[in-house]
């Protein structure tokens, strides 16, 4: 497998920059033993992604992103998960994923989540106030 990977985010570079941090500074040539960032998805999609990866026999690592600030108010469903696979499995894993996740940046996903939950009316039962 050829290409550049971000040494900080383990993401494959797109258009010469890391899609996660947006920088080219830490890019280096990907190595066979690298763990590569595959995709991010919402909690509701994790089962789908994991079934697909398991179906392909691809080992993966999942990391929950706790920094969105949305978790405390609306719960686990708004959490984003990052998936990582071995560099040797990367292209196969990418091909196995459905279109929803491929090419969607975390920024886009966050916007999507924001919009989705903005449309929900405030719960009048909320006793916190």
Q: Cβ of residue 108: shortest distance to Zn ion, in angstroms?
A: 17
Integer Rg of the chain from CA: 16
Backbone angles phi, psi at 60, to 5 degrees: -140, 165
Stretch near Zn ion under the rule CB under 5 A, chosen from 18-26, 57-65, 74-82, 118-126: 18-26
Q: Is residue 95 within the footprint of Zn ion (CB under 5 A)? A: no
Q: Is residue 24 a contact partner of residue 9, using CB atoms and an 8 Å limit?
A: no
Count of residues that bind Zn ion according to CB under 5 A: 6
Identify which of residues 48 and 68 has a Cβ nearer to Zn ion in the complex. Answer: 68
Q: Cβ of residue 111: shortest distance to Zn ion, in angstroms?
A: 20
Rounded to whole angstroms, the Cα distance separating 87 from 107 reads 24
Identify which of residues 37 and 60 has a Cβ nearer to Zn ion in the complex. Answer: 37
Which one of 5, 12, 13, 18 is in contact with Zn ion (CB under 5 A)? 18
Strands (E), 1-129: 4-6, 27-29, 35-42, 60-65, 80-86
Q: Residues 19 to 78: which contact Zn ion by CB under 5 A?
A: 20-21
Strand-pairing partners, residue 15, are: none
Residues that bind Zn ion (CB under 5 A): 6, 8-9, 18, 20-21
């Amino acid at each position: 497998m050829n290409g550049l990977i971000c040494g900080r985010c383990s993401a494959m570079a797109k258009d010469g920059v890391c899609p996660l941090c947006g920088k080219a500074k830490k890019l280096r040539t990907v190595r066979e033993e690298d763990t590569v960032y595959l995709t991010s998805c919402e909690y509701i999609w994790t089962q789908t992604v994991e079934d697909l990866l398991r179906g392909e026999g691809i080992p993966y690592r999942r990391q929950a992103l706790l920094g969105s600030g949305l978790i405390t108010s609306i719960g686990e469903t708004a959490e984003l998960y990052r998936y990582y696979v071995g560099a040797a499995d990367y292209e196969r894993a990418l091909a196995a994923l459905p279109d929803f996740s491929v090419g969607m940046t975390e920024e886009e996903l966050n916007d999507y989540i924001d919009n989705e939950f903005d449309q929900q009316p405030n719960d009048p039962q909320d006793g916190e106030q």
